[in-house]
Structure 1
Amino acid sequence: MTAQILLIDEDAAERRSMKAAIEAHGHTVHLADTVHAGIELFRRHGDTIGLVLIDAGSTDGLDPTVIPLLGQINPAVPVIVGTAEGATETALNAVRAGAFDFLVKPITQERLIGAIESALKIHRTSLQGRTPRRARSGSVSFSDVVAASAAMSRVVELGRRAAQSMIPVMLEGEAGVGKELVARAIHAASDRSARPFVPVNCNAISPSLIEEVLFGNEQLPGKVMEADGGTLFIEEISELPPAGQSRVLEIAQTGEIHRGAQQRPAKANVRLILATNKDLIEEVKAGRFREDLYYRLNVFPITIASLRRRKEDIPHLIRAFVERFSLEQRLPRTLQVDPSALALLTSFDWPGNTRQLENAIFRAVVLADGTSLRERDFPQIAAQVNSHRGSAIGIDQHPAVPEQSPIAKVQAALAERAAAFSGSYSAPSTGFGGAAQGNVIVSTDEAGNVRKLAEIEEELIRFALKFYRGQMSQVARKLGIGRSTLYRKLKDYGIDPDDPQRDAA
């Protein structure tokens, strides 16, 4: 079936070759040489375009607000992002932002057309009245929160307690862990459940517009007034500009808001629930977040663990998503999940957390051609898991042994070397052509004393940057620290985060 496709790419040669390949399969292609031009074209023809294909390889990279903006114009249209080889973080960020798929260059024609046809199938499904995503409503309750793990059971317990009061709640955790779901459950369990729940994501709004969106002006009421009597959920509060932080502090302290040129402030009768994927105390230290606002808002913190830290939740989430999407797609019966597929999905680390898992299940359900989901229905996940397993074998040489924490690895190595009185840790073969052979982290100084932990930490980070070829997400995950913590340490040790391999060991 012929479809209209919007192709956004700055490279004229790539535009021509991809246009020819797509049109050879009977589709119509609209071209744009900049993101701005592409968005304007999409605004004009969003009702007829069935797919957006956007290149993320420009000199400035892909603006994180682009995919959410496309979704605001027409949420039913899937977006595919093209990334350069090795740009894993760009691809993951695109998926987290809502991209349907990503293509790694060089892109084969078979892969390009396969991704396009899969995305168009989902678009046609939405046009037939089958909702591609369930819109969260205020009726979400704690029973909707999968809490098989002790970590999530604790989140539910704290959430129920928070619902009984009006104090601000701070939800902490990586992107995609389900902070909005928990916020909605808190709202639904509170005495404000009959009033509005209004979410605002500061990461999806231009900094110049955040204040107007939140607080309004003389013509527009703004989200604060829209949430009157209910709950205002501000996601990624760390991205709020300084002026906006001051106004949120005013609401938290006085329950009032100044709007436009009005002389008298208006009452802001809202319950505040905030969310962040950053370490706010580090943001305070760096001068990016007001200290008084931090202590005013961080009254009742609830930390939601990443999905890789609570893998016992994954099978339950999979079944819940499969049941939900089978119902939404009006399938004759709920799809089953093959044990091999369940094992594959449970073994994956899910850097995009629950949101990424939900997107993967949705895609598989829509494209399923049988009565059950099998391992082959998750080709991207299988490729990443197999790649990780291959690397693990090359690194550890013992794939059956559970991975040690970074500290445990260092302690074990130091103990082994201490026993042999060598005083150093020699890195094993990396499996990447021996690139890391010869790397040594010395544990004692020339006088025979144990070196300072900070010195060894710096060397370990530099080694990890080289070992994982500057892939920041993987470096942070393998070192057992958050990305924000890793970037802070890079700054402390004078390592350029934009070119970390240059300063690697």
Structure 2
Amino acid sequence: MPESKAHILVTDDEKAIRNTLQEILEFEDYQVSTVESGQAAIDFVSENPIDLMFLDIKMQGMDGLETLQALREKGYEVPVIMISGHGTIEIAVEATKMGAYDFLEKPPDLNRLLIAVRNALSQKNLENENRQIRKKLPKIQEIIGESKAIEDIKTMIEKVAPTQSRVLITGENGTGKELVAKWIHEKSPRSSGAFVEVNCAAIPADLLESELFGHEKGAFTGASEQRIGKFEQADGGTLFLDEIGDMSLDAQAKVLRALQENKITRVGGNDSISVDVRILAATNKDLEEEIKAGEFREDLFHRISVIPIKVPALRERKEDIPLIAQACLQSLKKRDISFSSVSFSEDGLQALQQKEWSGNVRELQNAVERLGILATGDKITQETVDNILQTRDLSSEDLGKLADETEDFQDFKEMAERVFLMKQLDKHDWNISQTAEAIGIQRSHMYNKMKKYNIER
């Protein structure tokens, strides 16, 4: 028995052919619609769901191949069986290259026709099943940890993800705020929509409005064409405003208005554009302190922090460090065969657990990669950790020595700044972008300071 009431569209400019195919297919318990031209087929598909299409090659106006090409360009993936009374191998090959499922000559053999229909529908069902399976598979890495703090966050994600509530995720740099945001999106009804991320700290204030709301052609110097902003890109999905505490007050006012009205206006434009967006925001700053200092709008804070989630620092969940370290190493093994024989000893994991990790999970990930590369044997032991990850803390004694070496306050500040930058670069495995982000300065400033203090790896 064929699939119950699969919907088939017959497109042919010969009424007799349309009627014949309709009678055959309806007898086999399919739902059948007919149209007489390529444009009519495109219009029909745009308004009605169908499972399969018969498409005549030779038609008045837009022919079958042109119609097939137009369907594919518009993103319609419905299987298409081409039919023609003047079939040639060349035409069949061309149709197949353009995405046709099969090719039948007129008048079609009844058995051949029904087999082609069943096979095409079976393939469509299989593709749909695979699509659903892929949708259910997590596309993002797991939140690793068994500590109470992490279990509480996982429970909170399960509760808030199905809602439309806005969430403010707080925590230090490197704790995994973005990962929490991605899981909220993944487990939400919007998971089939886009997850669009904006790093508010990485975009200059004068460009942030255009980044968020888009701009019209000619809106400003360099705007040579229309640009769709992040709000529109996230329509039907989730917009993640990372480091929202670094957003200028002017941009905050415009974001607040967009959240109040669910509408945006492109820079240089006049039309209001409705958007359906869920906002998730993150910051490493204390926004309530920023409000007191006049750096953050209180009304926006209350808009974005309906549900607050605080991601703990790694030092607050040290019991998770061995799990995270081993997961990082497993990830490296999948990516690079040179890590395949490397593993941790128990005392090696304990040594990692005893460190402070002020750079949190990000710093630990970098450290595990460094240990895997530089370890002399297959085991990463306590000795390996101690030798490769030597601490370079700036103690009060070190500061005292610096103070003894100079009587000039400016010289002392510069010497201390150089030591601080060296320590931070080492912590982030000399990744300039990550280091600049962690200490809250622009990457260009980081390069300038490295040049000023003659800092090299």
The Cα of 1:431 is off from its aligned counterpart by 9.8
Aligned to 1:244: 251
Give TM-score scaled by structure 2 length: 0.53
Structure 1: distance between partners of 2:267 and 2:387: 50
What is the correspondence of 1:324-363 to structure 2 with a 5 Å cutoff?
324-331=331-338, 333=340, 335-363=342-370
Q: Paired residue for 2:162?
A: 164
C-alpha displacement of 1:372: 2.5
Show the 5 A alignment for 1:385-464.
none
| Paired letter, 1:365 | G
**AA partner of residue 312 (structure 1):** E
Q: Give the aligned residue type for 2:302.
A: Y
User: What RMSD, in angstroms, separates the aligned Cα atoms of the two structures?
Assistant: 3.4
Residue 310 of structure 2 corresponds to which residue in structure 1?
303
Counting only pairs closer than 5 Å after superposition, residues 77-226 of structure 1 correspond to structure 2 as: 140=138, 144-218=142-216, 219-226=226-233
2:82 alignment partner in structure 1: none
For 1:322, the equivalent position in structure 2 comes to 329
Kindly indicate whether the alpha-carbon contact (under 8 Å) linking 2:145 and 2:324 is maintained by their aligned counterparts in 1.
no
2:280 matches 1:273: yes
Q: Which whole-Å deviations, capped at 9, do the CAs of 1:431-473 have from their partners, x for residues lacking one?
A: 988999xxxxxxxxxxxxxxxxxxxxxxxxxxxxx9xx89999
1:380 offset after TM fit, Å? Answer: 7.5
Give the C-alpha shift of residue 139 in structure 1: 6.2
Structure 1 moving runs of 4+ over 3 Å? 137-143, 331-334, 366-370, 374-382, 430-436, 469-474
Tell me, in whole angstroms, the C-alpha distance in 1 between the residues paired with 2:165 and 2:400: 56
Structure 1 residue 199: Cα displacement: 1.2
Which deviations, in whole Å up to 9, do the C-alpha atoms of 1:131-155 show, x marking residues without a partner?
xxxxxx9965798111311111111
5+ residue gaps in structure 2? 1-134, 217-225, 404-412, 424-457
Per-residue deviation at 1:319?
0.7
The alpha carbon displacement at 1:208 in A equals: 2.1
Query: Which is higher, the Rg of structure 1 or of structure 2?
Result: 2
Supply the distance in 2 between the matched residues of 1:250 and 1:431 (Cα, whole angstroms).
51
Distance change in 2, residues 1:331/1:433 (3 Å): closer
Instruction: Give the C-alpha shift of residue 371 in structure 1.
Output: 2.4
CA pair 434-180 structure 1, distance change in 2 beyond 3 A: closer
Unpaired runs of 5+ residues, structure 1, are: 1-136, 396-429, 437-465, 475-505
**CA distance in structure 2 between the aligned counterparts of 1:377 and 1:139, rounded to whole angstroms:** 37
- Counterpart mapping for 1:14-93 below 5 A: none
Q: Deviation per CA, 1:360-402, whole angstroms, max 9, x where unpaired?
A: 1123334455423234554686321xx66x96xxx9xxxxxxx
Mean alpha-carbon deviation: is it higher for 355-364 or for 183-192? 355-364
**Contact 2:348/2:382 (CA < 8 Å) preserved in 1?**
yes
Cα shift at 1:348: 1.0
**Aligned counterparts, 1:224-263, within 5 A:** 224-263=231-270
Given residue 317 of structure 1, which amino acid in structure 2 is its aligned partner?
I
Mark the CA change 1:349 to 1:215 in structure 2 (over 3 Å): closer, same or farther.
same
Deviation at 1:341, TM superposition (A): 2.2
CA distance in 1, matches of 2:186, 2:315: 28
The DSSP-based 3-state class of the residue aligned with 2:240 is: strand
Distance 1:358 1:431 in 2: 28
How far did residue 280 of structure 1 move?
A: 0.3
The equivalent of 2:407 in structure 1 is: none
Q: Retained in 1: the 8 A contact 2:210–2:267?
A: no
Number of aligned residues: 269
TM-score normalised by L of structure 1: 0.48
Q: Report if the CA contact (8 A) 2:339-2:372 is conserved.
A: no
